[in-house]
């Protein structure tokens, strides 16, 4: 068993015999994770608000977003299919963004307060 040394941002730990990279400390990984999570949340809102389902018959058109499609299935008696569509297309994709934002918020280090020249 081998202990990894404390690494500065951008440095990597390598195996002495084979020189294979064991671990790399990424620079600013928390900010990158937060930026990607914010982008995912924005795209999630867009994906669930833009009409995705469309149908045109005899010159009449209708379209609905995914949530509206699930609601329409529910109202027409296809409750199980409506719940499955709602869960797989709306609820489940929200879990990764929620868990990433929670992880970022819990590991974010607040700057130390300075009171009369001393850090507290």
Per-residue pLDDT reduced to its tens digit, 69-99 = 888 889 999 999 999 999 998 899 888 888 8
pLDDT at residue 99 in the model: 85
Find out whether 25 and 99 touch, Cβ atoms under 8 Å: no
Does 111 fall in a domain?
A: no
Does 6 fall in a domain?
A: no
Does 8 fall in a domain?
A: no
Does 113 fall in a domain?
A: no
d(CA 46, CA 39): 11
Does 77 fall in a domain?
A: yes
d(CA 81, CA 74): 8
Give the CA angle between residues 106, 103, 100 to the nearest 5°.
Answer: 150
2-57 pLDDT, tens digit each: 666 677 777 778 888 888 887 777 777 778 888 888 999 999 999 888 887 777 88
Does 119 fall in a domain?
A: no
Does 16 fall in a domain?
A: no
- Count CB neighbours of 65 within 10 A: 17
Dihedral over alpha carbons 74, 78, 82, 85 (to 10 degrees): -160
Quickly tell me which residue has 């990433």 as its tokens. Answer: 100
d(CA 81, CA 44): 21
Q: pTM of whole model > 0.75?
A: no
Can you count the helices (H) and strands (E) in the chain? 4, 6
Q: What is the domain extent for residue 49?
A: 21-105
Count of structural domains, the chain: 1
Does 94 fall in a domain?
A: yes
């Amino acid at each position: 068993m081998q202990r990894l040394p404390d690494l500065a941002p951008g440095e990597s730990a390598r195996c002495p015999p084979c020189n294979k990279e064991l671990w790399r400390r990424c620079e600013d990984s928390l900010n990158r994770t937060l930026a990607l999570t914010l982008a995912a949340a924005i795209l999630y809102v867009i994906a669930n608000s833009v009409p995705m389902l469309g149908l045109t018959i005899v010159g009449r058109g209708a379209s609905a977003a995914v949530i509206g499609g699930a609601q329409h299935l529910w109202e027409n008696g296809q409750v199980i299919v409506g719940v499955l569509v709602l869960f797989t297309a709306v609820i489940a994709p929200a879990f990764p963004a929620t868990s990433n934002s929670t992880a970022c918020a819990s590991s974010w280090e607040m700057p130390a307060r300075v009171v009369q020249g001393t850090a507290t």
